[in-house]
């Protein structure tokens, strides 16, 4: 557990709620067909897509996560495979829906990921992209390419004819809770007087971060998790407009330029 994957009782309520709300909004826009969830982790969100007229396939790069998800959710109709989300093992134009939730920011070359989504989608298929809004992201070494609305719109428009980018916004309660957690985290970062985390090799910083964040969440954020805040997905909503206070960008695309 690096702290990067949401895990109930370990991850702050607001972070769990962000993911819940994103998957809720995607699920509302699904109909029948083949649904692929990219970067699905242990599948506790992906399984919400399952329905009688849908074939739902979760994809994750981590084999342990993929196996865990399959063991938990296979009886609910979830299929799981290990793949690289920049090199997907699907035929071109074979998928009705593709969900990319909080994964595009992990690619040094995110266009490779977007191109693969465009390739596998049918011409009439729909893709969904959820990613942190750059102004609100905070000191996450796993996030290597951050977007603002215009940046994401431009990249998606290279591969899709129809592109809409809005935001997943939240209530003042959530924004205050996030600000409180970041204030606590900043006090820890302030101990790094010589900015060593940005001077050391990135792989070293990721290693330290991966080991320390889960401990920090349990100690520093203990009042922010386990349902203590009362924050859930109902505190989030889709916004047509985007400003620097909104935590998540939400893109909906169709009419792939790569489909035949």
Integer Cα distance of 168 and 132 in angstroms: 9
Give yes or no for residue 101 having a pLDDT over 90: yes
How many Cα atoms are found within 13 Å in the side-chain-facing hemisphere of 1?
14
Domain residue extents for the chain? 13-256
The residue-averaged pLDDT of 232-240 equals: 97
Give per-residue pLDDT as tens, 111-152. 999 999 999 999 999 999 999 999 999 888 889 999 999 999
- Domain 13-256 belongs to what topology? Rossmann fold (3.40.50)
What is the percent of the chain with per-residue pLDDT over 90, rounded to a whole number? Answer: 67
Integer Cα distance of 143 and 69 in angstroms: 24
In Å, what is the CA distance from 19 to each residue of 122, 200, 236?
A: 26, 31, 10
User: Which residues 6+ apart lie within 8 Å of 122 measured at CB?
Assistant: 93, 94, 95, 96, 256, 259
The residue-averaged pLDDT of 36-64 equals: 93
Confidence of residue 110 (pLDDT cuts 50, 70, 90): very high
| pTM of the predicted model over 0.85 | yes
For helices 149-157 and 110-120, angle between their N-to-C axes, nearest 10 degrees: 50
Confidence of residue 1 (pLDDT cuts 50, 70, 90): very low
DSSP letter at 32?
S
Tokens of 206: 């990721």
Integer Cα distance of 196 and 187 in angstroms: 15
Report pLDDT for 260. Answer: 59
Give the count of beta carbons closer than 10 Å to the beta carbon of residue 5. 17
Give per-residue pLDDT as tens, 191-206. 889 999 889 998 888 8
Report pLDDT for 3. Answer: 55
CB 65 within 8 A of CB 42: yes
């Amino acid at each position: 557990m690096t702290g990067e994957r949401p895990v109930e009782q370990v991850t702050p309520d607001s972070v769990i709620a962000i993911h819940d709300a994103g998957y809720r909004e995607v699920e509302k826009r699904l109909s029948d067909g083949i649904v692929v969830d990219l970067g699905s982790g242990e599948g506790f969100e992906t399984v919400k897509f399952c329905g009688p007229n849908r074939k739902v396939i979760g994809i994750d790069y981590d084999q342990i996560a993929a196996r865990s998800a399959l063991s938990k959710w296979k009886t609910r109709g979830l299929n799981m495979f290990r793949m690289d989300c920049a090199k997907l093992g699907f035929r071109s134009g074979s998928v009705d829906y593709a969900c990319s939730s909080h994964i595009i920011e992990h690619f040094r070359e995110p266009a490779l990921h977007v191109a693969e989504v465009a390739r596998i989608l049918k011409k009439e298929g729909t893709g969904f992209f959820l990613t942190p809004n750059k102004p609100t992201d905070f000191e996450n070494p796993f996030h290597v390419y951050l977007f603002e609305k215009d940046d994401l719109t431009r990249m998606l428009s290279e591969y899709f004819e129809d592109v809409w980018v809005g935001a997943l916004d939240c209530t003042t309660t959530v924004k205050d809770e996030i600000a409180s957690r970041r204030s606590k985290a900043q006090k820890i970062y302030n101990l790094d007087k010589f900015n060593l985390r940005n001077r050391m090799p990135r792989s070293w910083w990721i290693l330290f971060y991966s080991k320390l964040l889960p401990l920090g969440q349990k100690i520093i954020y203990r009042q922010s998790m386990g349902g203590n805040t009362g924050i859930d997905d109902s505190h989030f909503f889709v916004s047509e407009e985007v400003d620097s206070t909104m935590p998540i960008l939400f893109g909906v695309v169709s009419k792939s330029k790569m489909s035949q």
